[in-house]
Structure formats: C-alpha cells, structure tokens
Structure 1
Amino acid sequence: MTAFVVHVEHIHVLLWAGLRDPRLGALRWNTATVAGELQPETASTVGQMLLDENIASVAHLHNEPPAPEIYKYRPPAQRGWTNVELLNALHCYRYQSCEHPDWEGSEAQAFTEALEARLIHRLPGYSSGPWAITPSSVPSAARTRGA
C-alpha cells in the first residue's frame, strides 16, 4: 500500500474528535520540547502540524521535497462518527505519517497517542470492568449470565 496525504476532512475529523467533549478538559500532549493543547483557538495550528507531519512522511517515502499546504480548521461535514470509527481514522493518519525519521518523539505522535487514549476511554463498557484483576474478579459477561 502506498502512503498518501490524508484529505483535510480527515484532519478536521481528528480535531473535532479531540474537541468534542469539553467536560474532559482540553486534549493535552507532551514531547521533550513541546506541551501541546487542543482548544478551538488552536485547532488550525494543531491541524497544520498534523498535516505537515503527514506531508513530510509521504515526501520521505517518495524521496521528494515536501509540498507544503495551508490548513485551516473547520468543523467536519459529518459529525456522527463513532469512537471505533474515529480510532480507525486516527490509526490511518498515524500509518500515513510515521514513515520518516523524525516521527518518533514528534508532536504529531504525541497528539495521536493522547487522542487514542481519550477515544479508548470513551468506548462503551471500558470502565465497567475491574481496574485490577484478582482471583475473585469476574468478567462482565459472566456477571451478566449469572444475573
């Protein structure tokens, strides 16, 4: 499979996913040199960083100079995405952006890890199981059958 630069709508959706639940507070990530935060007023800057990273990865794979694009955030055309669909889109973005030597430790990598953690915590049933499992712990499926 050939790497490609994701459509700006893909970036819009990722940013929307990070912005959509303000009760959890701002999505934050850290690298050795950057402390990032996604807020409505930083969405275009964060989106530009994500797009630049994707472009750098594809350029590296094709041994071509990167062709910069200007990014400006806007809410996505569709907003009914499930957390599973958003995780899939995030994994696509990461796959398309991780092919150059500067990915490890990059702000884009840290952003994807922070968004992935947030989306996983939103999955239905994520919090219903025990935090720590002991010999007396019972899986939720077994608890449901026994009721």
Structure 2
Amino acid sequence: MSVFRLDKAHIDGLVNAGIQLSLIEVDEANDTGRMLLEQHYRSIGFLRDDESPPRYAVTIAPFLFHLVAILNLVACYEYQTCEGRGWGTSPAREWSRRLRDAALRRLPEAATQVTRIAGIEYLVYQTLPAWENTPWGITSLDEVPDIGDGEIVIPVIRRGLPVDILTGPSGSFSNGGLSSRVRSVVIVEIEGEPVPEFACIREPSDDAPAVSLRFEYGRYVARPADEPDRWFMASGAFLHTSDSRWSELIGHSLPIPLHDRTE
C-alpha cells in the first residue's frame, strides 16, 4: 500500500473518536487535531521542518462511530504516518496507541483473536463489516460507519479436521463437485454439530472447503457443509488422513465416502 496524504476528515475522525472514548474533552479537540495533522504532514514531506504547523479546526460528527471503524481509522493513520523522523517518540504515536487500546478494551474478547482466512492471519475485528465498510483514508465523516445499536456480532469461526480426498486412477466422477477441484477438505461438523475440540485444527479455505459428516446405513458419509439442503450422491471419491485423530473422530481408521456429485 502506498503512502498518501490523508484528508482533514480523517484527522476529524480520529479526534471525534478520541472525544467519544473519553481520551480528550471537546475543548482539546483543535490542539489534538493540529498535533496529529502536523505529524502526518511532516512524515510524508508535505510540511518541511522549517514551516509552521498547519491550521486546523475540528468538525464534530453528529453521530457516534463504530468501534471497529475507529480501529480502521487508527490503523490507516499509523500506516500513513509512521515513516517520518521522530514518529517513534512522537505524541501522535502515543495518542494513536491510547486511542486503539481504548477501542480494543470495549470490544468483545472474541473480536481481538487471530483467525486465518485462505492461509492469511487476520484479527477477527478486521473481518467484520464495519472494518470493510470504512474506507482506507476517509474523505468525509459520513463515510465512517456509526455505532448502531452498539452490538458487535462475531461470526462463528469454523475449524475442523483437514483430510485428504482419495480418487481412483481415472480421477473424479463428481460432475464438477469438490473432488474435481480440490485435493483436501476440512470436516467441520458431525450430524449438524461442530466437531469436538480435539479435531478443531484448521479453518476451511478455497483449497480445502468445509464438509459435514452424516451417519447413514451404519457408516459416515461426507457432504459439502455450505450446501446443506442440496442433494448429493457418491462420486467414487473417499476421505482419509493418517492423523491419529481420524479414528478418534469417526470410530475406525478406514476411508469414508465423499458424496459430492449432483446431476
């Protein structure tokens, strides 16, 4: 991501967030905004060392910000400002840290945990809609998501046991199903319930989609978990892994059928 000059609205957003989270009083807003703006301008070379600090007068937002949106504002400001001389010991850095910590303290603990999506680690709050809906570098306070009812809904992070897909020498007969596209899956549920904690190893991904197990006719079969109402039939593919948790999960060490064919 390239460094660019932040709009005054972004500084306004940080200052409003500071008022909202009781870091500053309203009568401190202009001085705080001027300090943040000066550090940013000097960092990107927009303001030389021999030039006076910029003029600044805060615009007060008529609504409260979503906590996750505040964290996005802080992350963007720090990224766009951290390259300048003196950033490490600057009041702007310390103020940004305090603002971030104040927002984090008000989040549910689950929102601050690490999750993996497609092999990349994120903090859970960075996957929430309010983060995605906050532009990287706002140009208007109206672009900041509001606090709404204050509830922060944390999506259920599915984890399960990764297993291999086994096919015969002729390949898959799934008619475009999972076994024709990927070589592994993640078992995330059994009979509609999450897998036991000991089997919660990895999150599903595009390369290893989620499957669920159903016990039918005296044995387990696996089906795509994200299409529970669709009818699937056997494709000639099976699931297995050498992981010792396999037999603990399904009760034996043999492969089980993967039903991923539709017609």
Fold-level similarity (TM above 0.5):
yes
Rg bigger for which structure? Answer: 2
Query: Is residue 55 of structure 2 the alignment partner of residue 70 of structure 1?
Result: yes
Whole-Å Cα distance in 2 between the matches of residues 50 and 120 of structure 1?
A: 20
Aligned AA (2:99): L
Aligned AA (1:19): I
Whole-Å Cα distance in 2 between the matches of residues 56 and 65 of structure 1?
A: 6
Whole-Å Cα distance in 2 between the matches of residues 15 and 4 of structure 1?
A: 20
Matching residue within 66, 74, 81 for 1:90 = 74
Aligned AA (2:34): Q
Whole-Å Cα distance in 1 between the matches of residues 2 and 56 of structure 2?
A: 23
Query: Is residue 47 of structure 2 the alignment partner of residue 47 of structure 1?
Result: no
Q: How does 1:1-147 map to 2 (within 5 A)?
A: 1-21=1-21, 26-27=22-23, 38-59=24-45, 65=48, 68-76=53-61, 79-123=63-107, 125-126=108-109
Aligned AA (1:69): P
CA root-mean-square deviation: 2.4
Higher RCO structure (Cα 8 Å, ≥6 apart): 1
Whole-Å Cα distance in 1 between the matches of residues 106 and 5 of structure 2?
A: 28
> Which runs of 5 or more residues in structure 1 are unaligned?
28-37, 128-140
* TM-score, normalization by structure 1: 0.66
> Which runs of 5 or more residues in structure 2 are unaligned?
111-155, 157-193, 195-263
Shift of 1:96: 0.8
Identity of aligned residues (%): 28
Residues matched between the structures, number? 110
Contact 1:53–1:97 at 8 Å: present in 2 too? yes
* TM-score, normalization by structure 2: 0.38
